[in-house]
Amino acid sequence: MKLKFIATLLFVGIFFTAFSQNDTIIKLSEVKITSSANPVLLDRSGRFIQVLNQKEINRFPLNNVEGVLNQFSGFDVRSRGPFGVQSDLSIRGGSFDQNVILLNGIPINDPQTGHNTLDFSLAPDNIKKIEVIQGPASRWFGPNAFSGGINIITEPDSVNNISFHLTGGQYGLFSGLVSGNYILGKIRNLTSVRYSKSDGYQKDTDFKATGLFHQSVYQNRLTRVQLQVSYQDKAYGANGFYTAQYPDQFEHTRNLFSSLSIGSGRKVKWNGAVSWRRMYDRFELFRQGTNWYEKEGNWYVMGQDSAGYRTPYGFFPYTGPNFHRTDVLFGKGQMHFSSLFGKTAMSVSFKRDYIISNVLGTLMADTLHSLCDPQAYYTNSAQRNELNLNANQLYSKENFTVSAGFNLFYSNMFGVFFSPGLNLSYGLSVSYQLFASVNRAIRLPTFTDLYYEGPDHVSNPDLKPEQITGIETGIKYFSRTFFVTASIFDRIGVHMIDWVKTSPDEKWSSENLTRLNTYGIAFAGVYQSVSKNSFVQSLGLNYTFLQSDKNASGYISLYALDYLKHDVSLFMMNRLLHRLTSSVTFKLEKRNGSYLDYETSQLKPYETVFLLDTKLMYQLDKFEIYLQANNLLNQRYHDTGSVLLPGIWVMGGVRFHINL
């Protein structure tokens, strides 16, 4: 029955594209996927890949990178706050720790926790393209590309210009962005500064964020040198983010990232890159400050309330914030060349993850103090070194393309792991392509998985990496105006990490006990008009169905299977008048699982959510004025636990762009 259902959906997708398009067929050969080890044309790739360009990104009625990513098929961006305050990204039912994000090809994941994966300074205005590869991808990106990989691409313009983007709206929302592209000699530069703030849509949901992004590129016929630097300082009320039992939480993060890369060569092309990422994280379970909790002696007090928490093991007074500082050093060298056997790519990379904390890691001999925060101190530390070797071969002949390779991973903490993979594609005609793939991947435990201790939690520093095998097959359709992909997939995961216990009276412990099998179907269709005067300029439809079966071997599992069982997203951009356009995104989410409502002490199933966002834009020569409404249907819903997200949020803004 399941196979018939899947086959029917695939047939409908193919029939829809064929019926809807009678124009001359044109292959989209100009779309090249640069994220893979061997750059490959989109119509030759043997994977489920999606691409968004700058024009599409800027037309979305969304103001942050998280919102843009949520438009991809199979993506679940579980927000704890609006406008990029904090979100957990999962792909095809994976966890927020099971994907890799690249900024211009450089990984930017945080080893402390996946909650910080999207905590970087970049506005959608500055993005040229986003490439997404779904499914296990360790043989390209190394460990943690468990459910997929995302490459966010920026590029300075070739002319001098300056842009301003101002936004204001409900709940004291204000956002300002200034971006400049400028040429100094033979170096193209992009510098962007942004600031955003809101008073919050309910108590303890206010935020302030400041960010800087800079990119410099030198390029001649053979050589490209790229420097990128970003910094973000963000503080926000975290109402119930990590436990609804104590809602008055607060978090302050600082994130600094820099990288330098160089590439050259004619017949044998090579490139190398080095990067450094540092993140400061201050988390207050009981928010401190005026009208919040203030320290009196050894206690934190707000009115008659003393900060602390009761468990079956007694009363634990709150002793102050958690402080973490993570450093990631990364270096990579890669070469690729062509021969009679196709395109060969080989790379070696080294990464060092290091954390100092007053909670995570093992006890240090001395206590360290922070220069950034006079209250911050660090008593514990942990580090690990990782070495990756990648080799991939791409061969194409006529309508057939095969890509095979492996990743060999070594860690001083976890040992050696081997992740091979194979992708196949075959062109049935100029417009239809079949593809299939089988790939393995691993995911390393985060420092939180390994070392978190709490009144009701026991750490497990002996955790091993998760392992997964993914199988997928599908079909792609290309035409002058359509690009459609449909596939079926299955992922078998072993040694999955979960917080478990054998009886309700025990403490939670992180263990490699869970086996997880996830299967489903994915559909992504895009229509682009060839006429600037058409009413429908672009139309996109995505659908993903997931089913997961978890076997925790008799243990009680802390994390329910709360993936998106049904995920439908629709995007449409229309030209209403000569200068007036509109865009609409609609998303239907049917989430599996339930969350604990602390007001009633009962488990509640997640709501089926209908999210409608819309935007009206009026374009002048140098100005764009817009009016935007998010959650137009005023849905009151939960993405994560019992964190209530805002209803309708109306805002307006203006963009100004001028060439100098």
Longest dimension (CA), the chain: 78
What is the C-alpha separation between 170 and 207, in angstroms, rounded?
14
What is the C-alpha separation between 536 and 59, in angstroms, rounded?
13
What is the C-alpha separation between 362 and 459, in angstroms, rounded?
11
The pLDDT score that the predictor gives to residue 119 is: 85
Bigger pLDDT: 456 vs 270? 270
What percentage of the chain exceeds 70 in pLDDT?
Answer: 90
DSSP string, 102-142: EETTEE---SS-GGGTT-S---GGG--EEEEEES--HHHH-
Three-state DSSP string of 310-328: EECCEEEECCCCEEEEEEE
Bigger pLDDT: 32 vs 635? 635
In this prediction, residue 505 has a pLDDT band, given cuts at 50, 70 and 90, of: low
In this prediction, residue 6 has a pLDDT band, given cuts at 50, 70 and 90, of: very low
3-state secondary structure of 9: helix
Q: What is the pLDDT of residues 588-636, one digit of tens each?
A: 999 887 777 767 777 788 889 999 999 999 999 899 999 999 999 999 8
Q: What is the pLDDT of residues 159-175, one digit of tens each?
A: 999 999 999 999 999 99
What is the C-alpha separation between 88 and 114, in angstroms, rounded?
7
In this prediction, residue 140 has a pLDDT band, given cuts at 50, 70 and 90, of: confident
- CA separation, residue 374 to residues 252, 328, 347, 655 (Å): 14, 23, 42, 39
- CA separation, residue 577 to residues 236, 527, 623, 657 (Å): 40, 20, 16, 21
Q: How many CB atoms lie within 10 A of CB 317?
A: 11
The pLDDT score that the predictor gives to residue 314 is: 75
User: Average pLDDT of 65-72?
Assistant: 86
User: Cβ contacts of residue 487 below 8 Å, gap of 6+?
Assistant: 48, 435, 472, 473, 474, 475, 521, 522
The pLDDT score that the predictor gives to residue 423 is: 94
The pLDDT score that the predictor gives to residue 38 is: 64
- CA separation, residue 455 to residues 301, 310, 508, 626 (Å): 20, 9, 10, 50
- Tokens found for residue 313: 């093991």
Instruction: Please say whether the beta carbons of 441 and 472 come within 8 A.
Output: no
What is the C-alpha separation between 649 and 35, in angstroms, rounded?
35
What percentage of the chain exceeds 90 in pLDDT?
Answer: 59
Q: What is the pLDDT of residues 409-454, one digit of tens each?
A: 999 999 999 999 999 999 999 899 999 999 999 999 999 999 988 7
What is the C-alpha separation between 399 and 429, in angstroms, rounded?
8
The pLDDT score that the predictor gives to residue 11 is: 39
Burial (0-12, 13-18, 19+ Cβ within 10 Å), 165? buried
What is the C-alpha separation between 521 and 488, in angstroms, rounded?
4
Query: Cα angle vertex 194, ends 192, 197, to 5°?
Result: 170
In the block, which residue shows the tokens 């079956």?
312
Bigger pLDDT: 18 vs 175? 175
3-state secondary structure of 228: strand
Instruction: Please say whether the beta carbons of 32 and 486 come within 8 A.
Output: no
3-state helix, strand, coil in the chain (%, to 5): 5, 60, 35
- Tokens found for residue 275: 């990067």
What is the C-alpha separation between 463 and 481, in angstroms, rounded?
49
pLDDT above 60 for 493: yes
Instruction: Please say whether the beta carbons of 546 and 539 come within 8 A.
Output: no
Q: Which helix (H) or strand (E) holds 260?
A: strand 250-264
CATH class of 2-265+274-285+321-659: mainly beta
Q: What is the pLDDT of residues 42-58, one digit of tens each?
A: 666 778 888 888 888 88
- CA separation, residue 382 to residues 23, 56, 364, 419, 598 (Å): 60, 42, 9, 26, 35
Q: pTM to 2 decimals?
A: 0.90
Burial (0-12, 13-18, 19+ Cβ within 10 Å), 176? middle
Query: Cα angle vertex 499, ends 497, 504, to 5°?
Result: 150
- CA separation, residue 201 to residues 234, 440, 453, 631 (Å): 18, 43, 32, 13
* Range scoring the smallest mean pLDDT among 3-17, 39-53, 116-130, 305-319: 3-17
The pLDDT score that the predictor gives to residue 23 is: 38
Q: What is the pLDDT of residues 192-247, one digit of tens each?
A: 999 999 999 999 999 999 999 999 999 999 999 999 999 999 999 999 888 777 88
The pLDDT score that the predictor gives to residue 122 is: 87
Residue boundaries of the structural domains of the chain: 2-265+274-285+321-659
Instruction: Please say whether the beta carbons of 139 and 407 come within 8 A.
Output: yes
User: Average pLDDT of 80-107?
Assistant: 88
Bigger pLDDT: 71 vs 380? 380
